């Protein structure tokens, strides 16, 4: 995200106190209660041996095509210990494997820009006894110099020729693969993190897990990346070394060498099904890649700001690229949303066009799958309204998409298919960038005293990519089962609930008609360095009512998220939580898995 350095252009008014560290003491007794419930739940499980559930499939295949379980029947049974016993028959031989039943999933993001202690693994995450862990981005700050560039401008890591990739002093190392390797190494050598991986993976001995598939540990480790893992703060699809960087990241989270996630030309998005084959208890984890195919920021989101800003000031040098970069020198910003969403789609006469849904309606299942180069937009068309030529007007001549993309057409298609075909009662969609951020405008800069104020309504998240965002909001609230969004990036943690109906954010998210609410859990900042105590103001204050417990109900100290599913209640209930550095419960939202409507 635009943390620290790039958030600097914003100035915030008002001073309100955040919930932050103070509320933890109160949270302490709540966590104790939760633990007791868990223990009891386990006792209840102990009383039953749940009926074996037979899969009719001839074999269960992993996404990478590897056969996981072979046999004509695949019985998966929950044992008295809360484990899953799998029996497979190969010839005359019957084999039984035991797997943990996954009920408590931890997730988090944002370690630290420089190497510091990470006590949260030992003090908070391991004691929470999680059955799986999901990285939601920024496992390492690979683009970040280890020196303070403001104090050491002559340092070799701070003094580089400025261009669109290295636009400010702290980004001289963007795209530097050798430096990225060192930064990942630093994180993987962190003693607390090693303890954590050894806890998750009983098969790992000492540091030997480097070559393991961590998604097949007893307690799987999964993940996706965000801008700092991607090696470019707020980076987009133009990243020159993204393929190399992807390999480094997948190495770091223990993805095997033969995984299709490593294939060239695609982002690292992926589905991983937890409790696979256990009827009623599957959890689909949909790991998004919101960097690899991300367009540049839509032009309208920063045009005013950049016009008022002095691009010679190193802090705002990215504006030069934004306004004057790109192949034709008319700016590297994404023009598609200006052209269609804010342009063609707003003209009343175009409503009747047969292509309107494909181009203009993010709630349509055909939205975004139109080919912008198709004959509908042929320049020779006699219809004035159809005379747009995409190839003439977007920044990337090869781009046939009709919206400013954050996932890209290929990944959107995949996601739609996964959501529609998923049988899982709970789907966790993991995105490095928040899907729901903060639609409040903030004054962009104090530096332009002579100019009228320019406002910014989005940061580096989906709020900037409005049609793409609305498309996902619609998909997530119409998919079978319940979808919960897990995210990170902002260096604080909170829970937001987007409600259908009439609210002060309804226009911003076009959410009035959503068929059901959508919950987003943001867990960001695992260390002192990234989760510094921060006041409830600026982009941290929620003035529109997305936080169920008030404008300042967020956590600013080191924290992680937990999704805990109680399978034995009727209906099963997911508890969506933020826990602090000592594992104490700080925020919680219950979600019954029959209605997907958040409960008090
Ligand atoms: C984090 O910061 C607090 C307060 O400054 C300090 O007491 C604590 O030791 C720090 N922890 C680490 C691991 O640096
Ligand atoms: C950066 O390096 C150049 C030479 O490569 C030098 O001329 C310049 O003074 C350096 N800038 C700073 C701030 O040290
Ligand atoms: C459009 O019209 C021009 C001139 O009338 C013609 O040269 C061109 O081939 C036409 N393009 C297409 C795609 O039909
Ligand atoms: C478009 O794609 C072609 C072929 O892949 C390539 O040669 C060309 O450089 C691309 N143009 C731009 C502007 O990226
Ligand atoms: C929505 O609520 C606002 C006030 O909160 C009200 O002015 C407006 O008329 C309402 N709109 C609808 C469609 O109910």
230-243 tens-digit pLDDT: 999 999 999 999 99
477 and 548 share one domain: yes
Within a domain: 398: no
Listed range (34-43, 301-310, 323-332, 472-481) with the worst mean pLDDT: 34-43
Atom 7 of ligand 1 has which residue's CA nearest to it?
528
Cβ–ligand 3 distance for 570 under 6 Å, the answer no
Within a domain: 5: no
State which ligand 1 atom lies nearest to the alpha carbon of 528: 1
Consecutive H or E run containing 433 = none
Check whether residue 252 and residue 265 sit in a common domain.
yes
528 Cβ below 6 A of ligand 1: yes
Q: Pick the closest to residue 289 from 368, 174, 175, 407 (CA basis).
A: 407
Rounded CA separation 54/10 (Å): 57
Longest distance between any two alpha carbons in the chain, whole Å = 84
Which whole number is the average pLDDT over 560-580?
97
Pick the residue with more confidence: 73 or 422?
422
> Could you tell me the distance, in angstroms and rounded to a whole number, from the CA of residue 5 to the centre of ligand 2?
21
pLDDT score of 104: 98
Tokens of 462: 């989906």
Together in a domain, 86 and 109: no
Query: What residues make up the domain containing 264?
Result: 104-296+404-592
* pLDDT for position 82: 63
What are the residues whose beta carbons fall under 8 Å from the beta carbon of 515, sequence distance 6 or more? 477, 478, 500
| Residue 187 sits in the same domain as residue 203 | yes
Q: Are 439 and 546 in contact (CB under 8 A)?
A: no
Is 16 domain-assigned? no
What is the per-residue pLDDT for 397?
A: 52
241 and 277 housed in the same domain: yes
- What is the total count of domains within the chain? 3
Angstrom distance (rounded) from CA 173 to CA 323: 23
Residue 286 lies in a domain: yes
State the distance from the centre of ligand 3 to the C-alpha of 380, rounded, in angstroms. Answer: 6
pLDDT at residue 92 in the model: 73
pLDDT value for 335: 86
The closest of 245, 383, 377, 397 to 328, measured between CA atoms, is: 397
Is residue 314, in this structure, part of any structural domain at all? yes
State whether 237 and 379 are in the same domain: no
Q: Which residue has the higher pLDDT, 399 or 267?
A: 267
Same domain, 419 and 282: yes
Average pLDDT rounded to a whole number, residues 571-588: 98
Cα distance between residue 522 and residue 108, in whole Å: 8
What distance in Å separates the CA atoms of residue 344 and residue 47, rounded to the nearest whole number?
A: 63
Pair (213, 279) in one structural domain:
yes
Which of 65, 100, 135 represents a domain boundary (last residue)? 100
Q: Is the Cβ atom of 380 under 6 angstroms away from ligand 3? A: yes
Look at residue 442 in the predicted model and tell me its pLDDT. 76
Q: What percent of the chain has pLDDT over 90?
A: 61
Say if 235 falls within a structural domain.
Answer: yes
Name the closest ligand to CA 160: 2
268 Cα to the center of ligand 3, angstroms = 40
What is the structure's pLDDT at 470?
Answer: 98
Residue 384 scores a pLDDT above 70: no
DSSP code of 465? S
- Is 153's pLDDT higher than 80? yes
What was the pLDDT predicted at 205?
61
In tens, the pLDDT along 5-35 reads: 333 222 222 233 334 333 333 333 333 332 2
- Whole-number Å distance, alpha carbon 15 to ligand 4 midpoint, is 50
User: Is the model more confident about 10 or about 271?
Assistant: 271
Shortest-distance Cα residue to atom 9 of ligand 3: 380
CATH of the domain at 245: 3.60.21.70
Question: Most confidently modeled of 88-92, 156-160, 367-371, 400-404?
Answer: 156-160
pLDDT tens for each residue of 57-116: 222 222 332 223 322 233 444 544 467 776 666 677 766 667 889 999 999 999 999 999
Which ligand is closest to the CA of 158, given by its number?
2
Overall average pLDDT of the 423-441 stretch:
96
- Nearest-atom number in ligand 4 for the CA of 327 is 13
Ligand nearest to the CA of 190: 1
Structure tokens that stand for 134 in this block: 């999901």
80 and 157 together in one domain:
no
Task: Provide the 10 A C-beta neighbour count for residue 530.
Answer: 24
| Residues 436 and 549 reside in one and the same domain | yes
pLDDT-derived band at 527, boundaries 50, 70, 90: very high
Residue 178, burial from CB neighbour count under 10 angstroms (0-12, 13-18, 19+) = exposed
Q: What is the pLDDT of residue 244?
A: 98
Residue range 535-557: average pLDDT? 95
Lowest mean pLDDT among 246-250, 429-433, 446-450, 575-579: 446-450
117 lines ligand 1 (CB under 6 A): yes
Same domain, 328 and 358: yes
Average pLDDT, the chain: 81
191 within ligand 4 shell (Cβ under 6 A): no
Of 10-14, 262-266, 284-288, 400-404, where does mean pLDDT reach its minimum? 10-14
Ligand 5 center–CA 344 separation, angstroms: 28
CA distance 261 to 390: 31
| The dihedral sign for the CA sequence 232, 158, 301, 109 | positive
* Nearest ligand to the CA atom of 265: 4
List of residues 6+ apart from 539 with CB closer than 8 A: 7, 10, 12, 437, 438, 440, 442, 459, 490
Min mean pLDDT across 4-13, 170-179, 492-501, 518-527 is at: 4-13
Please report the pLDDT score of residue 445 as a whole number.
60
Q: Please write the tens of the pLDDT for every residue from 186-215.
A: 999 999 999 999 999 977 665 566 778 999
Number of neighbours of residue 62 by Cβ within 10 angstroms: 15
Distance CA 435, CA 432 (A): 9
**Is the confidence at residue 53, as pLDDT, over 70?**
no
Pocket of ligand 2 (CB under 6 A): 153-154, 159
Q: Which of 189-193, 302-306, 313-317 has the highest mean pLDDT?
A: 189-193
Confidence of residue 441 (pLDDT cuts 50, 70, 90): confident
3-state secondary structure of 575: strand
What's the pLDDT at 443? 73
CB 239 within 8 A of CB 246: no
Domain boundary among 329, 364, 392: 392
**Bigger pLDDT: 382 vs 232:** 232
Asked whether residue 521 is domain-assigned, the answer is yes
**What is the 543 CA–ligand 5 centroid distance (Å)?**
17
**Collapsing DSSP states into helix, strand and coil, what is residue 273?**
strand
% residues pLDDT > 70 (the chain): 77
pLDDT score recorded for residue 328: 77
Structure-model confidence comparison of residues 1 and 130, the more confident one: 130
Q: Are residues 132 and 222 in the same domain?
A: yes
- Last-in-domain residue among 42, 73, 100: 100
SS3 193: helix
Nearest Cα to Cα of residue 187 among 127, 112, 286: 112
Q: What is the structure's pLDDT at 306?
A: 85
What does the DSSP 8-state code read for residue 590? E
Residue 234, in any domain of the structure: yes
Q: Residue 369: what pLDDT?
A: 81
Q: Report the atom number in ligand 4 closest to the C-alpha of 396.
A: 13
* Ligand 4 centroid – CA 236 distance (Å): 18
Stretch 420-434: mean pLDDT: 97
- If pLDDT is split at 50, 70 and 90, which confidence band does 450 have? low
Residue with the nearest Cα to atom 4 of ligand 3?
A: 380
Tens of pLDDT along 330-365? 888 998 898 889 988 888 888 888 888 988 999 999
Is the Cβ atom of 381 under 6 angstroms away from ligand 1? no
CA-wise closest residue to 226 among 434, 532, 473, 4: 434
């Amino acid at each position: 995200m635009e943390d620290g350095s790039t958030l600097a252009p914003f100035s915030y008014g008002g001073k309100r106190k955040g919930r932050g560290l103070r509320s933890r003491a109160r949270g302490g007794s709540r966590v104790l209660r939760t633990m007791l419930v868990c223990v009891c739940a386990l006792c209840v499980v102990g009383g039953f041996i749940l009926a074996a559930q037979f899969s009719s499939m001839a074999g269960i295949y992993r996404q990478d095509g590897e056969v996981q379980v072979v046999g004509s029947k695949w019985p998966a049974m929950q044992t008295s210990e809360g484990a899953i016993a799998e029996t497979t028959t190969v010839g005359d031989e019957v084999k039984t494997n035991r797997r943990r039943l996954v009920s408590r999933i931890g997730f988090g993001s944002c370690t630290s820009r420089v190497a510091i202690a990470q006590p949260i693994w030992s003090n908070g995450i391991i004691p929470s006894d999680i059955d799986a862990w999901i990285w939601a981005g920024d496992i390492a700050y690979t683009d970040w110099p280890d020196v303070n560039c403001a104090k050491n401008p002559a340092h070799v890591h701070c003094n580089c020729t400025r261009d669109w990739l290295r636009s400010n002093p702290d980004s001289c190392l963007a795209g530097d693969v050798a430096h990225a390797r060192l930064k990942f190494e630093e994180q993987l050598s962190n003693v607390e993190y090693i303890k954590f991986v050894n806890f998750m993976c009983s098969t790992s001995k000492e540091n030997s897990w480097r070559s393991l598939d961590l998604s097949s540990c007893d307690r799987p480790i999964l993940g996706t990346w965000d801008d700092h893992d991607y090696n470019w703060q707020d980076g987009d699809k133009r990243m020159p070394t993204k393929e190399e960087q992807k390999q480094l990241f997948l190495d770091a989270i223990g993805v095997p060498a033969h995984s299709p996630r490593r294939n060239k030309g695609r982002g690292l998005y992926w589905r991983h099904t937890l409790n696979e084959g256990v009827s009623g208890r599957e959890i689909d984890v949909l790991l998004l890649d919101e960097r690899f195919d991300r367009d540049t920021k839509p032009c309208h989101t920063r045009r005013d700001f950049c016009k008022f800003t002095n691009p010679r000031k190193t802090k705002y040098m990215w504006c030069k690229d934004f306004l004057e970069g790109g192949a034709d020198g008319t700016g590297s910003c994404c023009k598609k949303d200006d052209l269609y969403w804010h342009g063609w789609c707003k003209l009343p006469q175009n409503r009747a066009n047969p292509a309107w849904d494909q181009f203009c309606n993010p709630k349509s299942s055909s939205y975004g799958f139109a080919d912008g180069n198709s004959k509908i937009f042929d320049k020779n068309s006699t219809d004035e309204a159809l005379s747009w030529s995409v190839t003439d007007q977007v920044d990337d001549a090869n781009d046939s998409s009709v919206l400013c993309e954050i996932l890209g057409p290929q990944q959107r298609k995949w996601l739609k298919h996964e959501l529609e075909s998923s049988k899982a009662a709970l789907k966790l969609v993991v995105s490095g960038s928040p899907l729901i951020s903060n639609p409040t405008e903030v004054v962009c800069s104090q530096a332009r005293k002579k100019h009228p104020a320019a406002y910014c309504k989005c940061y580096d998240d989906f709020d900037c990519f409005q049609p793409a965002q609305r498309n996902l909001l619609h998909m997530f609230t119409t998919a079978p089962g319940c979808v919960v969004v897990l995210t990170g990036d902002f260096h604080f943690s909170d829970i937001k609930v987007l409600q259908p109906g009439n609210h002060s954010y309804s226009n911003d998210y076009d959410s009035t008609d959503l068929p059901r609410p959508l919950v987003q859990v943001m867990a960001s900042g695992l260390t002192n360095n990234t989760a510094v105590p921060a006041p409830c103001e600026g982009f941290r204050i929620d003035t529109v009512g997305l936080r169920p417990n008030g404008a300042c109900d967020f956590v600013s100290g080191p924290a992680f998220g937990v999704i805990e599913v109680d399978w034995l209640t009727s209906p099963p209930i997911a508890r969506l939580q933020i826990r602090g550095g000592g594992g104490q419960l700080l925020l919680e939202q219950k979600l019954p898995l029959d209605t997907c409507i958040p409960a008090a």
